[in-house]
Structure 1
Amino acid sequence: MPEQPVLPAAELPEDAVEVGRIADAWGVKGWFKVQPFSSDAEALLSARAWFLQPALRGGKTAFTGTVQLSIRQARPHSDTLVAWAHGIDDRDAAEGLRGARVFVPRSAFPRTAEDEYYWVDLIGLEVVNRQGVALGTVRELLPTGPQTTLVLDHLQDGKPLERLIPFVSAFVDEVDLAKRRITVDWQPDF
């Protein structure tokens, strides 16, 4: 059995965001498939250093703790990415990464255009309407066909509930990342 490569141990950056997982080896020269968590995998494609941690459950990676991969190449492939890293030079080494969780520092993400946001930046923001009524906190975003929907957690009469608001300009007035607030044209009884 070939010897597994020794990957450099690393500290997970404070601004690290989990952006995907390694699905499997791809080919015989050390390439591997990555399943991104976003339909726009630009953060994975542009970052030259990825940080890996073993799968939370059931993974059999050839490493423990956090390691850093220096990426040689990454490119889209169907609905996944394929990548090749320094020190991963054959199929066995690539198979040793199977199931690993992939993190990229938020500071390495490409800049967004005006009125474009990374989902990770919206999670946790407070949502208020034009009248200043608190509607909840963004828990997640859902792709729902032609638009994305904000999923908010809020309390009503002491009970935890969920509220859905389309993340489109017809309803979203302002996203203020500095104030961690989204202002919307939405009423609490919708």
Structure 2
Amino acid sequence: MLTPDEVLVVGRIVSVHGVKGWVKVYSHTDPMENIFDYQPWHLLEGGVWKPVKLTGKRRQGKGLVAGFEGYEDRDRAARELVGRDIAVPRSQLPESGDGEYYWRDLIGLRVKLGDGRDLGRVHGLMETGANDVLVVRGDADSLDRQERLLPWTPGEVVSAVDLDAGELRVDWDPDF
């Protein structure tokens, strides 16, 4: 069994599909089919990440579907899986390249301006058409308690990322 620190959530089971116990899968990977490259999948059950074995997988229309060993019945077994996150061991993921980061690594970093003023912590990220966006929430240790949306544009708004120090430096007007 894996601990929460050892897994990375890569998708979610969103509904049942067909009559043979298959499910529709929402993938957080890009491209979405990459989720199938990581095996075994782990599903959260009773607070524990348990491995499951895929019996089949494919693209279906604009989405993905998969079948699991032991879940061949749509009405009972497969319905139990709906809403569960899909995770893989973090060790399976390739190392991020220079200047590349997994979103999970950015969440929780302190966000500071060049002069050292603190804007808060990265609460999450959003994917938009132009560029990804950091959701930064102020807290008791920051300049204010404001939530800010900062574009993830390394070399422009984002000037430095120091994972070891737990810090992200930005060039941003805090009044914006």
- d(CA) in 2 for partners of 1:114, 1:80: 31
Name structure 2 gaps, 5 residues minimum: none
- Structure-2 change in CA distance of 1:11 and 1:164 (3 Å): closer
Indicate which of 81, 85, 96 corresponds to 2:68: 85
Partner of 1:108: 92
Partner of 1:47: 38
- d(CA) in 2 for partners of 1:175, 1:89: 46
Indicate which of 27, 39, 60 corresponds to 1:36: 27
TM-score normalized with structure 2 length: 0.76
| Shift in Å, 1:40 | 5.0
- Structure-2 change in CA distance of 1:96 and 1:17 (3 Å): same
Name structure 1 gaps, 5 residues minimum: 1-9, 55-63
Q: Which moved more, 1:140-149 or 1:28-37?
A: 28-37
Write out aligned runs for 1:160-175 (5 A). Answer: 160-169=145-154, 170-175=156-161
Instruction: Report the 3-state secondary structure (helix = DSSP H, G, I; strand = E; otherwise coil) of the residue aligned with 1:144.
Output: coil
- Count of residue correspondences: 172
Cα-to-partner distance string for 1:64-94 (whole Å, 9 max, x where unaligned): 5533212344444455332222333354443
Write out aligned runs for 1:51-62 (5 A). Answer: 51-53=42-44
- d(CA) in 2 for partners of 1:119, 1:18: 11
Give the counterpart letter for 1:177 in structure 2.
Answer: L
The answer to which structure, 1 or 2, has the higher relative contact order (CA under 8 A, 6+ apart) is 1
Partner of 2:132: 148
Contact 2:118 2:143 in 1 (8 A): no
Contact 1:25 1:98 in 2 (8 A): yes
- d(CA) in 2 for partners of 1:23, 1:155: 33
Partner of 2:118: 134
Instruction: Report the 3-state secondary structure (helix = DSSP H, G, I; strand = E; otherwise coil) of the residue aligned with 1:14.
Output: helix
TM-score normalized with structure 1 length: 0.72
Give identity over the alignment, percent.
38
Contact 2:108 2:122 in 1 (8 A): yes
Instruction: Report the 3-state secondary structure (helix = DSSP H, G, I; strand = E; otherwise coil) of the residue aligned with 2:138.
Output: strand
Contact 2:27 2:33 in 1 (8 A): no
Partner of 1:23: 14
Partner of 1:68: 51
- d(CA) in 2 for partners of 1:101, 1:30: 17
| Shift in Å, 1:12 | 4.4
Contact 2:16 2:74 in 1 (8 A): yes
Indicate which of 161, 167, 170 corresponds to 1:181: 167
Contact 1:43 1:110 in 2 (8 A): no
Q: Which moved more, 1:118-127 or 1:130-139?
A: 130-139
